[in-house]
Structure formats: structure tokens, C-alpha cells
Amino acid sequence: MTLPAIDLRDVTLIRRTQQELHYDIKRTLLNLTRGLRRNVKRHTVIDSLNVRIAHGEKVGIIGPNGSGKSTLLKLIAGVLTPTEGVVEVEGSLAPLIEIGVGFDPELNLVDNILYYGVLLGHEEAVVRAHVESILEFAELVEIRDQPTKTLSSGMSARLGFAIATEFRPDILLLDEVLAVGDERFRRKCGARIERFWDAHSTIVLVSHDLAHIARTCERVVWLDEGKARFDGDASTAVKLYLDSVPESKSFRSGEDLIAMAAASENGELLIRARSAEPEAKIFLVQDGHRRKIGADEWYGWSGFSSYEVIMVDEAIIEQIPERKTDAEGAAEEDAVT
């Protein structure tokens, strides 16, 4: 029997929730004097999961928000260690989890490539040999010596994609972000990902795009509250999933998104437009309105793993009434009076 590429045996992961992130020494001491003990809140993200993926298999992971899909990728990537159980990975591994966010803004492109390449586990000399080809793919050769802070968010996403996909890994972990940039560049990304599909790479893909998963994966694991509800044939899994969750059809209308936001833990929902434009359009849905999130604000948030973004067609986003920013609202009022 050959060894599987990825083997999760009875994996359970219990994490601390981030609700108590606001804690500081001052407040802890204050609470202690009041006799309040700080209760650490924990919850089970992955619940005795068994998944075994053979070399060359293409596996899709589906499930509602908060079902543990991205966490599963982090466990496979070794970013998180399971509370119980064993995660075994055989072969080189490349994570592609929202890459491009962790660049050092002060370093130039070449230094950032070297830095990231080594972080990803390659030797510096190897990364150095790939610098040209990475810059070429990202189409950023001319500005190689500029600090990375001068890049637009689209450009830095292009660079992140180019670095992560440059080194042919045995195992590729994809978290939603399949293609970045404008339409032409997205096609280029698609072609590069295709190459992984054609090669004998093992691929684990997390996505809300069920049609894409059904088309490209042989096998699908459907996660629900950290448990595998189904593991098997892709189209069967997608069909079962769609039948089971009425909300999953809700992406079809703006009203459903508003309802979903209201039902969520903090009353907020992040959605991202499926758009051809290079700049990512991200909105926060709250109290029945949507508000556009600027790139700066978004980078601040994306560090928090608890935020998940749902990809929605632009036409559906248009259905949600837009909330003016305070400045715009004031300006409008001025115009009226």
C-alpha cells in the first residue's frame, strides 16, 4: 500500500475564540480585584475528522461559513497543530491562503520575493534563481527595485500569486483566491493553476464556487461544524449540500445576504464582488446596508482568521442599499440645505 499524501486521523482542534482579544493587563488586574476570573472561551473547530488523500487526488472542501474549511487547510499546512489526533503530510507543500498580504512594505520586490520564498521553505539560492521568472509572471520586472508599499493591491496580489505558484509543490492548498488581477491576468492565473491540475499534484481546494468545485475536483469533502458530513464523489456531494442548506441558494439575492448578515454572530458579513477589475471590491453588510471597504481597512482585517469573505456577483451586491460614508452623507445634506 502506498502512503497517502495527506492523512488526518481522528483530528480534533479546539481553539480559543478571539472575543477576549481586547484583554490587557490593566483590565485583567481590574477584574481580578473585583473577583472576576477570566474565563477562556474555547470552541471545537474540527471534530474527530478522518480524511485520507492519495497522491495526485484533487479534493474540494465545501461547507457553510465557519464550518472549518480554512482551518482544515491550516492544519494540513502545519500552521495549526491539532489538539488531538495526527496530521501526516508527505511531500512538499505550498499554501496559497490569501497570499500577498504579509509583504514588508519597506522592502523592494526582489527582497520580498527572497524573504517569502525562504519562509515558504525554499533555500535562498533556489529562490534567487527564480526571481526573474516570478517578476516576469507578475509583470512587475520594471519596478523590481521599488519598495513594495508603492504597489497597488492588485499588483501585490499578482506578486503573491506568482511567488506561491512558482515552485511546483507536490501538494497545493487553495483557499478561494484562485485568480487575481484584471480579466487577462486572471486567465493567466487560471492557466497556471490548470498546469497543476494536469500535473500529478495533489490539490486541496476550499471554495464557495460549487460549480467550479464540481467541475474540477474528483472528490469533495463536505464539512459541517468541523465534521465531515459527506466524503466522496464531487457532484453527489454538491447536490446533497445544495439540497440540505436552504441558505446556500441565498447568494442569489441581496435580501438573503442581508438576512445572513443579521443572523451571523456579530451581525456583519463580508462580501467580495466577482469582478473583472484589478482592485478587489469588498463590502461590509450590516443593518441592511452595504459599505465599501477600502484596501487599507481590509488589510487590517484580513489578519483575523475569523473573517470569511463570500464571493458574490456584482449584480446581487447592487441589490443591497448602499450606506454613504459619513463625509459623503454630510456633503449631501449640505447640498440640500
Residue 67 or residue 286: which is nearer to another protein going by CB? Answer: 67
Copy the grid coordinates of residue 79: 500552521
| Residue with Cβ nearer another protein (107 or 179) | 107
18 versus 235: smaller Cβ distance to another protein: 18
| Cβ-contact 234, 217 below 8 angstroms | yes
Q: Residue 324, Cβ neighbours under 10 Å: how many?
A: 13
Q: Cβ of residue 178: shortest distance to another protein, in angstroms? A: 16
The Cα–Cα gap between 227 and 224 comes to: 5
Residues 137, 179: Cα–Cα separation, whole Å: 13
- The Cα–Cα gap between 102 and 179 comes to 18
Min separation Cβ 279 and another protein, Å? 20
Cβ atoms 234, 77 nearer than 8 A: no
Give the nearer residue to another protein in terms of CB position, either 106 or 265: 106
Residue 215 CB, shortest distance to another protein, in Å, is: 27
Tell me which residues touch another protein (CB under 8 A). Answer: 15-18, 21, 23-26, 28, 74, 77-81, 95, 97-99, 101-102, 104, 106-107, 111, 114-115, 118-121, 123-124, 147, 302-303, 305
C-alpha cell at 59: 479534493
φ, ψ of residue 324 in degrees (nearest 5): -70, 145
275 Cβ neighbours under 8 A, 6+ residues apart:
281, 314
Q: Which is nearer to another protein, 122 or 323 (CB)?
A: 122
In the complex, what is the shortest distance from the CB of residue 117 to another protein, in angstroms, rounded to a whole number?
9
Alpha helices in 79-123 (DSSP H): 109-119
Q: Closest approach of Cβ 65 to another protein, in Å?
A: 18
Q: How far is the CB of 10 from another protein (least distance, A)?
A: 18
C-alpha span between 102 and 113 (Å, rounded): 11
Which of residues 26 and 184 has its CB atom nearest to another protein in the complex? Answer: 26
